[in-house]
Structure 1
Amino acid sequence: MNDGAVRTAERVLDLFQGARLTPTQRRIAHSLVQHAPSAAYLSAAEVAELAGVSQPSVTRFAMALGYSGYPALRRELRALAGPRPADGGQAGDNPMQRAVRVEAQHLGRLVEQLDNLDAVEQAAKLLVASRPLPVLGLRAAAPLAAYFGYFAAKVHPDVRVLDNGGTHLLDRLDQARAAGATALLAIVLPRYPRETLDTLREARAAGLAVVAVTDSAVSPAAECADVVLPAAVGTHLVFDLHTGPMAMAMVLLQAMCDAAPGGVQHRLEQFEATAARRHIFEA
């Protein structure tokens, strides 16, 4: 997104803040935010196809927000969006350049979002205090969960990465809770595995605080989380780009280090001493 599109997405997101939406309605809201401002010029049928829901669901969504129907909501969206935009790239860009340029714009939006660190600091305090710390990431989110877990283990005494689904997943969550876990970090990326969302609900029911790094404040994970840290994903290639969520995850890890500086420094010194003794690295 360019700067204008980012501002439009933020204004569209404001329409949904505080609304009590069903999971289906959250999917519609998420699609409208992700594709703002062009979504403001789509029909109800086109929005339904974009969100993967039925056309009547789009009408019910508009009415849940207080509009007489989807046409009234679309008029509001068009007022927020302004004239229908052209492609967000620059003249002469090839498709790969456009994809990376949009990703850079996502990072620019993240920079602005981090003007206020309250949510990041709240999440860091919850996670750094949890012993052990379970980190959930399934399917597309599994590599990011493992990446976060690799570095978090250098500053946290007991990180447990839950990156495999199946019948053992909830067992491992129960084991972490029984061992003293008080919070869960979840990396939740499109297309939002059902098993991930079910696990978040189980975690909440078990009394764990849930921190979600996800692609949008109206992601399906938001309704299951105590703290939501949104970072947009790139959608201009065959497979999504996850640069934003990776950056957010590492910002969160930095905030965890800042929340417990003494213990972090001690563990880092221990690791460096061990690495030197075992000759782990060439440089």
Structure 2
Amino acid sequence: MNEAVLNLVQGARLTPTQRRIAHCLVQHAAAASYLSAAEVAELAGVSQPSVTRFAMALGHDGYPALRRRLRELTATAGAESADDGNELQRAVRAEMANLDRLAGELADRERIAAAGRLLAASRPLPVLGLRAAAPLASYFAYFAAKVHPDVRVLDDGGSLLTDRLEQAAAAGASALLAFVLPRYPRETFEALREARDAGLTVVAITDSPVSPATEYAELVLPAAVGTGLVFDLHTAPMALAMVVLQAICDASPADTQARLEAFESSAARRQLFLG
């Protein structure tokens, strides 16, 4: 059902308030088609007229028409899922759909290329990922360090996080790559505010085009998170992280080649790998 909501808002030009409403509907996808306009307004922390304007921005006469459309989509999704195997198979197939959607969005190569240029030029390159996003930040940074001279992983919160952001900016950083995934830690957004105050351009890999990260990032790259199991699946965000790393390599091919060759020479000398 959250996929149905995302499909409705995909490509729509929404205000920050309308993005908050869309995000609320995604978060309450199972009940979204049964909520009244007043209930949606209360959940999203907005006024009821804002919910009406949101529905109209999506091409509907009002919120009741949008709710009817959500119910139609819910019924269609339920019929399709009946023949889609057990819950484990459905979770994996949903990840396949997330990857397929990501592949479609990558048709616009300029957005990814722009992210690559911004991040390649940042020396050092801070990479932010807290709680559930921390493993993705570390995974990206492990490989990025082979082609970028100074990658700094920011995966711990607390007062030291602001220190490390300020230190990165003082050392010459111009951009920050942030992994912003549910359940959106408050400290992540505090760090994004600090990053912008320090003059860093924020590139965010997040789960949705209506993610709260859109309020803080100059460039938002969405990749859906799987929600079919007890804990989220991050297949699409991880794939997008490697696509962004490819864009960094493409932004500076000569430096990339030189650094990779230097690493391979060092690895061979030290016999790092068995094969």
Query: Structures share a fold, TM > 0.5?
Result: yes
Tell me the amino acid that sits aligned with residue 85 of structure 1: T
Aligned to 2:260: 268
Tell me the amino acid that sits aligned with residue 11 of structure 1: L
Residues in 2 aligned to 1:7 and 1:159: alpha-carbon distance in whole angstroms: 37
Deviation at 1:45, TM superposition (A): 7.8
Residues in 2 aligned to 1:171 and 1:264: alpha-carbon distance in whole angstroms: 30
Kept in 1: contact 2:116–2:248 (CA 8 A): yes
Residues in 1 aligned to 2:271 and 2:254: alpha-carbon distance in whole angstroms: 26
Q: Secondary structure at the match of 2:16?
A: coil
**Which of 146, 151, 170 is the aligned partner of 1:154?**
146
Deviation at 1:43, TM superposition (A): 1.4
Aligned to 1:103: 95
TM-score calculated relative to the size of structure 1: 0.86
Aligned to 1:59: 48
Aligned length: 270
Aligned to 1:30: 23
Tell me the amino acid that sits aligned with residue 145 of structure 1: A
Distance 1:132 1:55, change over 3 A: closer
Residues in 2 aligned to 1:130 and 1:171: alpha-carbon distance in whole angstroms: 18
Aligned to 2:34: 42
Aligned to 2:10: 13
Aligned to 2:76: 85
Q: Secondary structure at the match of 2:81?
A: coil
Kept in 2: contact 1:119–1:228 (CA 8 A): no
Distance 1:260 1:183, change over 3 A: same
Q: Deviations along 1:25-68, whole A, 9 cap, x unmatched?
A: 644312435777x66622138964xx9x537747254145375x
> Does residue 122 of structure 1 match 2:114?
yes
Kept in 1: contact 2:33–2:71 (CA 8 A): no
Aligned to 1:256: 248
Q: Deviations along 1:133-174, whole A, 9 cap, x unmatched?
A: 000000000000000000000000000000011110000001
Q: Secondary structure at the match of 1:93?
A: coil
Q: Secondary structure at the match of 1:216?
A: coil
Kept in 2: contact 1:47–1:58 (CA 8 A): no
Aligned to 2:171: 179
Deviation at 1:213, TM superposition (A): 0.1
TM-score calculated relative to the size of structure 2: 0.88
Compute the RMSD of aligned alpha carbons: 2.7
Kept in 1: contact 2:205–2:223 (CA 8 A): yes
Residues in 2 aligned to 1:160 and 1:232: alpha-carbon distance in whole angstroms: 25
**Which of 220, 223, 245 is the aligned partner of 1:228?**
220
Q: Deviations along 1:112-146, whole A, 9 cap, x unmatched?
A: 11111121111111000000000000000000000
Residues in 2 aligned to 1:157 and 1:29: alpha-carbon distance in whole angstroms: 39
Aligned to 1:247: 239
Deviation at 1:11, TM superposition (A): 3.1
Tell me the amino acid that sits aligned with residue 76 of structure 1: L
Kept in 2: contact 1:12–1:80 (CA 8 A): no
Gaps in structure 2 of 5+ consecutive residues: none
Residues in 2 aligned to 1:56 and 1:262: alpha-carbon distance in whole angstroms: 50
Residues in 2 aligned to 1:43 and 1:232: alpha-carbon distance in whole angstroms: 24
Gaps in structure 1 of 5+ consecutive residues: none
Kept in 2: contact 1:44–1:59 (CA 8 A): no
